[in-house]
Amino acid sequence: MSDTFSPDRAAADRPVPKAGILDIRAYVPGKATVDGIEHPLKLSANENILGCSPRAKAAYAAAIDQLHVYPDSRATRLREAIANEFRLEPERLIFGCGSDEIFHMLCQVYLEPGDNIVQGEFAFGAYAIGARACQAEVRNAPEPDYRVDVDELLKLVDARTRLVFIANPGNPTGTHVVGSEIRRLQAALPASVVLVLDGAYAEFVEDPAFEDGTDLARTADNVIVTRTFSKLHGLATLRVGWAYGPADMIAALDRIRQPFNTTIPGQAAAIEALADKDFQRASLELVGRWRAWLTQQLGGMGLAPVPSATNFVLVGFPSQGAKTAAAAEDFLARRGLIVRGVGGYGLPDHLRLTIGLEEHNRAVIDALSDFMRA
């Protein structure tokens, strides 16, 4: 990938994007429609099937008269609410238009052309897009058993590595890395490398050996933890993400942050969502119960579910014959059930199913049993 001035671009007969941009594969969101089916069920984007907190909805509605007003750039009240909830220093928080924006800010701040990021081979797609936009190299470490492996990551780290990204738990795999392994990774990384711990699904993990990384970020100079209101809190459309990290990293990110990147309704709804423990509990109970059931049912029909710590399950299909993941995705779609093909993540033989309500999960399992028998 070239990082030098290209006279060819100046001489071109039309604007030419800088090197590498057109090599980026644009992010493909989960499908939301099926031709010929009026109200399909969308189980393709890991959204909260229960919607969101009624308190968050009321706060959103109450913001209707402020649409002409610029939001509080520092998200002061939301900042205080998060600092109190997680016992974090408010000055060490930063907000983003979703956590996606924070990954982009990290890339812009730390990556020069020719630098690299290191991630697992099935990493969430946003990291690579952010890195490639900065003309950096993306290094993918093998994930044996669909799990990020600390030693495999470390093998790829060199003098040009600036960022190591881990979604913990991961998407699309749903697997997690225990706290002791994350601490071992941090201890082995050069002090100049930022370790990004993306906790978009952290709330769903039940394993007591899991750590959300905020304790490590409190004391280490190179660890940043990102979180989102899009998953557990069901506020995906409002685009509120946040990060906690060392003060000087947060200050650097803040230099390039768009000043009004979270909105008045978004901030207000997020504050109420954080306070609504009943909604959070109901969401976690639903996911916990049906995750176990789905995993068992999928295994029972001869498919290969990957044990999940999230609100979705990745499931493997035979790579040959009539029972492939692509055929299953079509079969489910014809029954109005939209799930996520993950070929774009290097997993052409898998589908990712967001956990739904009881009737949704039963419908998915009924359809897949018919598919396997057909």
Ligand X SMILES: Cc1ncc(COP(=O)(O)O)c(C=O)c1O
Determine the length of the chain.
374
- Identify the three-state secondary structure at position 292: helix
Q: Which is nearer to ligand X, 40 or 174 (CB)?
A: 174
Residues that bind ligand X (CB under 6 A): 46, 98-100, 124, 167, 171, 198, 200, 228, 230, 236, 241
Least gap, CB of 314 to ligand X (angstroms): 12
Q: Which is nearer to ligand X, 2 or 258 (CB)?
A: 258
- Identify the three-state secondary structure at position 312: strand
Least gap, CB of 69 to ligand X (angstroms): 24
- Identify the three-state secondary structure at position 268: helix
CA–CA distance, 73 with 70 (Å, rounded to integer) = 8
CA–CA distance, 123 with 171 (Å, rounded to integer) = 7
Least gap, CB of 236 to ligand X (angstroms): 6
Strands 194-198 and 223-228: what pairing? parallel
Least gap, CB of 373 to ligand X (angstroms): 33
CA–CA distance, 322 with 329 (Å, rounded to integer) = 12
Dihedral over Cα of 93, 97, 100, 104: its sign: negative
Q: Which is nearer to ligand X, 99 or 297 (CB)?
A: 99
Q: Which is nearer to ligand X, 71 or 234 (CB)?
A: 234
Cα–Cα distances (Å) from 56 to 60, 235, 242, 370, in that order, read 6, 9, 17, 40
Residue reference for tokens 């044996």: 144
Chain-centre distance for alpha carbon 279: 21
> Residue 240 — φ and ψ, nearest 5°?
-125, 115
Q: Which is nearer to ligand X, 129 or 264 (CB)?
A: 129
Least gap, CB of 217 to ligand X (angstroms): 16
Angle (nearest 5°) at CA 150 between 146 and 155: 110
Least gap, CB of 309 to ligand X (angstroms): 12
Q: Which is nearer to ligand X, 98 or 246 (CB)?
A: 98
Least gap, CB of 102 to ligand X (angstroms): 8
Least gap, CB of 201 to ligand X (angstroms): 6
Residue reference for tokens 């492939």: 324
Q: Which is nearer to ligand X, 222 or 262 (CB)?
A: 262
Q: Which is nearer to ligand X, 103 or 110 (CB)?
A: 103
Q: Which strands form 340-342's sheet, in the order they lie side by side?
A: 304-306, 312-316, 347-354, 340-342
Measured from each CB, the residue nearest to ligand X is 98
Cα–Cα distances (Å) from 326 to 95, 112, 312, 341, in that order, read 38, 38, 18, 7
Q: Which is nearer to ligand X, 63 or 225 (CB)?
A: 225
Considering only CA atoms, which of 280, 240, 230, 244 is closest in space to residue 264? Answer: 240
* Structure tokens given for 337: 């059930």
Least gap, CB of 240 to ligand X (angstroms): 7
